[in-house]
Amino acid sequence: MSAYVEIPRPYESAPGRFTVDLVFPAASKRRAKEHHDVAWTLADVHGVEASTPYKVNPRWSVYEENWGNKERHGWLDMRRLRVDGPARELARYLVALERVVDEVEALATRAVRVFGAWKRSIPAEPFLEYEDASTMRTRAREFRARVLRALVQGFGARTRGAGGRDSSRPLWEQYAAVADEVWAAAGGVDLERADEQAVRVQLLRMVPDSEAGRAVVVEAERLVVAEAAQVEAERVEAERAIRAAEHEELSRLVTVAVTRAYEEAEAQQFAEDGQMGLFSMAEARGPVTLPEPQAKKPRRAPRKRGLRPELREAFNGAVRVIPAEAVERLWSDLAPFKVPSSADRRRYAPAT
């Protein structure tokens, strides 16, 4: 899957012919147009038909076009390309398109690196006297776009000679020469080569919309998911094996260090005692092994100290009535506790 072109599933537009609507998602419109030109040029090589869709302007109206802001009715959408042709030719075209776009972008990146090396060289100093960092970033961006355009325009040429540079001109004006240099250094781009296995995968995506076709597509998607899961499992297993090997090596190193330190201390002690030791105590001791790392137990929340729950409930601000029996049981050694009551209280007290 290329990052410069989106290839949805082709559909059958006529008996024996399939159509695909390519999308070029580059952030820059100019860069998307260069990718569009690559796909357009490659269509002639593989014998398929390409056409650029027409995009209607949503702001257009008769009033806006004649008396308003002169809005156009629409224009060619250079971010999209419709390609149709026989199944196998279209499949080969799509497989080759992903590879060619990636290789052309790699050549443009190599040209930018050449430009960066030139900026840091001594011959570039006279041309950089009045240039600042912001200007050079803009020049590098423009240089890459022009190199990419030169590479695309050279697809039709059978032979390309490496153009020589002119030392009296800055390198950002010689993008065509740098494009020829990187093209010659990489040996060019093969526009016709396509991986047969990838072609078969594309052919599976082009099956007609039927029960058998859907079954084939579902099976292909299942195989892809299974392969991805297997790759992930192999990666996890490899990481586990690496961790186990590192733990074993660490245990061995610790064992060697501890044994050496113990033997040195033992020899020093025997030398002080006048006994040279008939045998080494380290030989009778088992190897030191490090325990497996254990998961840390979660810490318990600190227990709040203070009143017991029943006492906190008793003193939470609510009015509590303590029975007389409880008072007598708790404070039996004291005098009987009597609540003074007035004549009015006895008068209006409920009858028992």
pLDDT in tens, 287-324: 666 677 776 677 766 655 555 565 555 555 555 566 66
Specify the residue for token string 């690196």.
113
CA distances from 176 to 128, 162, 172 (A): 21, 9, 10
**CA distances, 204 to each of 18, 87, 101, 332 (Å):** 12, 10, 23, 96
Residue 82, pLDDT score: 92
Q: 80: which strand partners?
A: 23
Considering just the CA atoms, what is the radius of gyration of the chain in Å? 42
331 DSSP assignment: S
pLDDT of residue 210: 53
pLDDT at 1: 62
Tokens 């601000």 -> residue:
317
Strands 49-51 and 80-86, sheet pairing = antiparallel
Backbone torsion region of residue 14, taken as left when φ is above 0, otherwise alpha when ψ lies between -120 and 50, otherwise beta: beta
pLDDT of residue 81: 92
pLDDT of 240 > 80? The answer is yes
Beta strand pairing status for 74-76 and 54-56?
antiparallel
Each domain of the chain, given as residue ranges in start order, spans: 11-206
Q: Residue 331's pLDDT is what?
A: 63
In degrees, to the nearest 5, what angle opens at C-alpha 249 toward C-alphas 248 and 252? 90
Q: Which of 17, 32, 166, 174 is nearest to 84 (CA)?
A: 17
Cα 325 to Cα 332: distance, rounded to the nearest angstrom? 10
Which CA distances in Å does 206 have to 22, 125, 287, 344? 15, 56, 64, 103
Nearest Cα neighbor of 52 from 70, 78, 24 is 78
DSSP H stretches of helix in 274-308? 281-284
265 closest CA partner among 254, 278, 277:
277
Query: Is residue 6 predicted with pLDDT exceeding 60?
Result: yes
Q: What's the whole-number mean pLDDT along residues 155-165?
A: 62
Q: What pLDDT score does 309 carry?
A: 61
pTM over 0.85: no
